[in-house]
Copies of this chain bind each other. A is one copy, B any other.
């Protein structure tokens, strides 16, 4: 079942009702962007567009919703009838998923009759904000791991199960090698990873017996969880079982607690002494990009990191300062003046050049050597092309990351890029401000 059009705030329905009643069907353009980045982010990774397009494609009010609006919320019949006919038949420009973006850059711009463009605000903001939050956090883990595998372990502690699916999806865009989440792997075609828990070890009379049993069941992919009782004893027990059963393929040990740097070094030494150079060391337990970075820089002999809670909720920055602002109405550029939250008017484009990004107007000329980030993704309510695959998003991210200046990739205290503003946009902002001030005049 497609997501309900009632996944919106009451005030959106109020406004839409008011617009529809008086036949205000003028086109509005809303721009969705992140005002400022959290101090711990050097860049963002655009994500969440795909569920937004699916929502817009199927947007309508089924009978059940209309009944609720009329019977419970007491919207008048003429308004309910108007809601019944609403579809999204507008235009969407957006930054494709996987691209690296910066503060103030529109991720999505939607143009449609104002009632519909207003109604879809909460859904679009929710999805773009959350997916981008997690993609950006996960990207830092991949950078910190510096070529080592990173695996999504977040399912058990994300903010709901849909969130877990999102974490698996967007972390795969930025280069996670696999996920522990089987449903996500099935739905999205991801690689899945996992071994055993402490409870498995405990359910056998001895650790050796547990290891032996597991290895017999999964001889082609055994990773021994070695820290249930004593980590280095556990490593020795694993070695004993590996030798006893003559195992050789895809072997690993996992350490899930304690001083991971020190334990991984000691474990590597014990494994190497036994000639088991091919046994990989996998670590997990409360990791985030800061800790992964620390371990990698310390030279710890770790082959793969499992990251869960802190990445799955983006613990240091669990949301972004995103906004969805009216920038044009009935062909007139619009801007909000109040307080610190003023916005800039007009339909926009981001021009990426060799020396950084410029936010300008959508219809101004492309500066030399620059590339536009926003592309048309829907016209007349229909997609302009086929669904973009996760593979496409991965390629875009990979290419953008290659070109991203090093100071923005730094894990601790990264630089942030402040996009320039084009002359044309500055001029329009100046004009729109005068216009808005006029309308704000005391009656």
Expressed in whole angstroms, the Cα–Cα distance for A10 and B186 within the complex equals 11
Task: Given A11-B197, A233-B440, A318-B313, answer yes or no on A161-B161 (Cβ-Cβ < 8 Å).
Answer: no
Question: How many residues does chain A have at the interface if contact means C-beta atoms less than 8 Å apart?
Answer: 112
Question: Which residues A210-266 have CB closer than 8 A to chain B?
Answer: 213-214, 217-218, 227-231, 233, 236-237, 240, 257-258
Expressed in whole angstroms, the Cα–Cα distance for A440 and B203 within the complex equals 12
CB distance from A149 to the nearest CB of B (A): 15
Expressed in whole angstroms, the Cα–Cα distance for A341 and B284 within the complex equals 14
Q: List 28 A-B contacts (CB under 8 A).
A: A9-B153, A9-B182, A10-B180, A11-B195, A12-B194, A13-B182, A14-B195, A14-B214, A18-B217, A73-B182, A122-B156, A125-B156, A127-B160, A134-B159, A159-B166, A161-B162, A202-B336, A202-B439, A227-B338, A227-B339, A229-B439, A229-B440, A233-B442, A257-B340, A313-B313, A313-B318, A313-B319, A315-B319
Question: Which residues A1-28 have CB closer than 8 A to chain B?
Answer: 3-4, 6-15, 17-19, 21-22, 24, 26, 28
Check if B156 sits within 8 Å of A160, measured CB to CB: no
Expressed in whole angstroms, the Cα–Cα distance for A109 and B66 within the complex equals 42
Nearest-neighbor residue (CB-CB) of A204 within chain B: B439
Expressed in whole angstroms, the Cα–Cα distance for A231 and B163 within the complex equals 37
A313 contact from B159, B218, B439, Cβ within 8 A = B159
Residues of B within 8 A of A123 (CB): 161
Residues of A in contact with B (beta carbons under 8 Å apart): 3-4, 6-15, 17-19, 21-22, 24, 26, 28, 30, 65, 68, 72-73, 114, 118, 121-123, 125-127, 129-130, 133-134, 153, 155-164, 166, 180-183, 185-186, 192-200, 202-203, 205-208, 213-214, 217-218, 227-231, 233, 236-237, 240, 257-258, 309-310, 312-315, 318-319, 322, 324-326, 329, 334, 336-341, 436-437, 439-443
CB distance from A89 to the nearest CB of B (A): 19
CB distance from A2 to the nearest CB of B (A): 12
Expressed in whole angstroms, the Cα–Cα distance for A289 and B108 within the complex equals 32
Check if B183 sits within 8 Å of A158, measured CB to CB: no
A156 contact from B129, B163, B183, B318, Cβ within 8 A = B129
Task: Given A14-B218, A318-B315, answer yes or no on A181-B9 (Cβ-Cβ < 8 Å).
Answer: yes
Q: How many copies of this chain are found per oligomer?
A: 2
Residues of B within 8 A of A185 (CB): 10
CB distance from A359 to the nearest CB of B (A): 20
Nearest-neighbor residue (CB-CB) of A309 within chain B: B319
Top 6 closest A-B pairs, CB basis? A10-B194, A229-B440, A11-B194, A159-B159, A199-B326, A162-B162
A160 contact from B6, B118, B130, B258, Cβ within 8 A = B130
A14 contact from B6, B12, B194, Cβ within 8 A = B194
Nearest-neighbor residue (CB-CB) of A30 within chain B: B199
Task: Given A197-B15, A442-B236, answer yes or no on A338-B229 (Cβ-Cβ < 8 Å).
Answer: yes
Task: Given A73-B192, A443-B207, answer yes or no on A182-B6 (Cβ-Cβ < 8 Å).
Answer: yes
A203 contact from B125, B157, B160, B329, Cβ within 8 A = B329
Check if A237 sits within 8 Å of B443, measured CB to CB: yes
Task: Given A14-B218, A196-B14, A443-B208, answer yes or no on A6-B183 (Cβ-Cβ < 8 Å).
Answer: yes
Check if B9 sits within 8 Å of A155, measured CB to CB: yes
